[in-house]
Amino acid sequence: MQVTRLPLLASLLTMLLLPSAALAGSDTPPRFGFDGVLLGAFIDGKWVTNEDLQEKERYHQHRIWGGHDCKVYRFAGLETDLATVTADAMDQHGEESEEKGQGPEFHTMNVQIGPDRSLGLGDARLTIIGDFEAMPRKAQVLPPNNATYKKIVADTLASLGLRGVDPKIVQLIRVDLDGDGTDEVLIAAQNIVFPDDGAQAELFSFAPDEPLLHELQNPNGVDRSARAGQYSLLLLRKVVQGQAQTIPIARFIATKNSPLGADTFTGTVPWVYKIACIADLNGDGVMEIVTAEAFFNGLWYRVYEVQGQSVRKVLENGLTAD
């Protein structure tokens, strides 16, 4: 009787090719934050929000208590693998301390590098607990004044009802997101804030390793009401089945003036978007897109997963001023 061993061999080869996080399963799941803001985790094949990670009993063993070893990444790659998370977590778990009126800290993920340096809000760094390389391929910042991509932005704006508007690109980034050998291009374009001019010069930044917004609730920040013709776009330019396609990631478009006091999350209050970080957050070899998003009294971070020609928001967290 002949016994075939091909399935076993295939299984072993698959295990050797899988990223370390996939092999680790739920024992050492990736947990991560950006700019001192806790974004969440990837556990048992699922994205886990910051609230669920820190509050739900099923994730108790993976909760961030502080003292975890972690890595810190700049936009261009690893800065150090000798950092320690110093999250401001309660001594007791959320369910256990509920009767005392206490709750776990699920907003922050601050880190300490050596005895004299700490990182948190305003440092624009990715912090990740995980034993894999979060930036397996490097992103390249391109000059934004590119005629080809300006036309792509102009065409996109026209399709959304804004014709004849100046396509002002503030970020142009090239990177191979999925490791297939073909680069994608990320485009950020907006005409809502002007970081190179006047009162907003030191308030906003679209440069790598700098926060989008340096100060919440500044009178020179994002307007509370929109003016007709304002826009902010994040676009992904990707080759799908041999054809280059423009895939929207996030957008704010004002085809008319909005009333003062409009609701923040209904699309009538201006949002300004920035590509903050590009990294593999779950260890599968495909890099996710982390965005920074500012509005009149807040700063938000979101994680987008790219699968084929679709882009899906999987996690978010942020801060608002009272």
Confidence tier at 256 by pLDDT (50, 70, 90):
confident
C-alpha radius of gyration, the chain, whole number: 21
Among 72, 102, 129, which residue terminates a domain? 129
pLDDT beyond 50 at 100: no
Which range of 49-63, 92-106, 134-148, 186-200 scores highest in mean pLDDT? It is: 134-148
Assigned domain for 8 exists: no
> 109, 129, 149 — which closes off a domain?
129
CB count within 10 Å of CB 199 equals 11
In a domain, 135, yes or no: no
In terms of domains, do 23 and 75 share one? yes
Residue the block writes with tokens 């003016």: 227
Greater pLDDT, 301 or 100 = 301
Q: Are residues 117 and 146 in the same domain?
A: no
Q: Specify the pTM.
A: 0.86
Same domain, yes or no: 112 and 232: no
Q: Please report whether residue 45 resides in a domain.
A: yes
Same structural domain for residues 151 and 68?
Answer: no
Quick check: is 7 in a domain? no
Q: What is the per-residue pLDDT for 224?
A: 86
Can you give the residue range of the structural domain that contains 52? 16-129
Average pLDDT, the chain: 85
Q: What is the dihedral of CA 196, 197, 200, 201, to 10 degrees?
A: 50
Query: DSSP letter at 297?
Result: T
Q: In this structure, are 58 and 84 located in the same domain?
A: yes
Amino acid letter, residue 23:
L
Residue 13 has a pLDDT of 34
Q: 88 and 184 in one domain? A: no
Q: Which residue has the higher pLDDT, 9 or 181?
A: 181
> Would residue 4 count as lying in a domain?
no
pLDDT at 267 (0 to 100): 55
Domain presence at residue 241:
yes
Asked if pLDDT for residue 97 goes beyond 60, the answer is no
Q: Could you tell me the end-to-end alpha-carbon distance of the chain, in angstroms, rounded to an integer?
A: 75
Please tell me the total count of domains within the chain: 2
Q: How far is CA 282 from the centre of its chain?
A: 13
Answer yes or no: do 124 and 147 share one domain.
no
Q: What is the pLDDT of residue 105?
A: 63
Q: Where are the beta strands (DSSP E) in 125-265?
A: 126-129, 140-141, 169-175, 184-190, 231-240, 243-253
Token pair 């080869």 in the structure block, residue: 13
Q: Which amino acid is at 217?
A: Q
38 in any annotated domain: yes
pLDDT at 292 over 70: yes
Q: Say what the alpha-carbon torsion angle 261, 264, 267, 272 is, to the nearest 10 degrees.
A: 110
Position 131 pLDDT exceeds 80: yes
How much is the pLDDT for 269?
Answer: 86
CB 172 within 8 A of CB 141: yes
pLDDT in tens, 138-150: 999 999 999 999 9
286 and 250 part of one domain: yes
Kind plus residue range of the DSSP H or E element containing 317: strand 310-320
- More confident call, 50 vs 89: 50
Distance of CA 84 to the CA centre of its chain: 21
> Looking at the structure, do residues 158 and 60 belong to the same domain, yes or no?
no
Residues 119 and 156 both lie in one domain: no
One-letter identity of residue 179? G
Looking at the fold, whether 53 and 145 belong to one and the same domain comes out as: no
Report pLDDT for 4.
35
Is the Cβ–Cβ distance between 225 and 269 less than 8 Å?
yes
**Length of the chain as a residue count:** 322
How far is Cα 83 from Cα 106, in angstroms, rounded to an integer? 20
Query: CA-CA distances (angstroms) from residue 189 to 185, 240, 273, 286, 313?
Result: 13, 23, 8, 24, 19
Give the whole-angstrom CA distance, residue 244 versus residue 246: 7
Identify the DSSP state of 242. Answer: T
Residue 162 lies in a domain: yes
DSSP-derived 3-state class of residue 195: coil
| Sign of the dihedral defined by the CA atoms of residues 131, 45, 36, 232, in that order | positive
At 88 the pLDDT is 58
Tell which wins on pLDDT, 88 or 254.
254
d(CA 202, CA 215): 9
Are 171 and 313 within one domain?
Answer: yes
pLDDT band at 322 (very low <50, low <70, confident <90, very high): low
